[in-house]
Amino acid sequence: MLSDYKKYLFALLVIIVMLPFNLQANRIIVGSAADISNAMLTAQPGDTLVMANGTWTNQIIVFKGNGTSSGHIVLMAETSGEVILNGNSTLRIAGSY
C-alpha cells in the first residue's frame, strides 16, 4: 500500500505526463495577412494565431506550417462570427497538424 506522500507524487507525475507537449505555446494576435505570414515564420507546435475582430478587406492569407500530432498550430477568430473576410480576400491552408 502506498503512503499518502507516494500517492500524491504519483498523481503529480500522471498530470505532468498528460500536459501538452509544448508548454511554451504562444497565443499571437494578428491583424492582417502580413501579420499571419510573419507569425508563421516562428510559429511552433502548440501555438495559436488569433485573428483580431473586424473586417479584413482584400487580404491574401497563407496559413502554412507544420505542427505535430500532440501540438497543432491553430488559426482562429478572436470571437466567433466577428472576423469577416471581404473584397478579394483569400485563405489558403497548407502543412500538417
Question: What are 37-72's pLDDT values in tens digits?
Answer: 999 999 999 999 999 999 999 999 999 999 999 999
Could you give the CA distance from residue 47 to residue 6 in angstroms, rounded to a whole number?
34
Q: What is the pTM of this model?
A: 0.74
Is residue 38 situated within a structural domain?
yes
- Indicate the number of domains in the chain: 1
Is residue 83 situated within a structural domain?
yes
Is residue 54 situated within a structural domain?
yes
Is residue 15 situated within a structural domain?
no
Is residue 40 situated within a structural domain?
yes
Could you give the CA distance from residue 38 to residue 58 in angstroms, rounded to a whole number?
18
Could you give the CA distance from residue 69 to residue 10 in angstroms, rounded to a whole number?
26
**3-state secondary structure (DSSP) of residue 94:** strand
